[in-house]
Amino acid sequence: MTDDKRKFLFLKQVKTLNTLKEHGAISAEQYDISYNGLVTKMNISEKELSEWGAKKNK
């Protein structure tokens, strides 16, 4: 998978998580678990997170 595609998929998933949390469909704890799992499974580095501006929605 190319880095651009990986970035696109990751940011799309984060947007979905943010929307779910904003609408009360998931709790903050569920959000954290899902977000951290996504970072781990997609092997996203801290450097990539900061470059992509993919900060957790608190």
Give 5-57 pLDDT, tens digit per residue.
Answer: 999 999 999 999 999 999 999 999 999 999 999 999 999 999 999 998 876 66
pLDDT of 39 = 96
57 domain residue, yes or no: no
Q: Which domain holds residue 48?
A: 3-52
Q: CA 51, CA 32: separation in Å to the nearest integer?
A: 20
Cβ 43 vs Cβ 7: under 8 Å: no
pLDDT value, residue 54: 73
In a domain, 19, yes or no: yes
Number of domains in the chain: 1
**What's this model's pTM, rounded to 2 decimal places?**
0.85
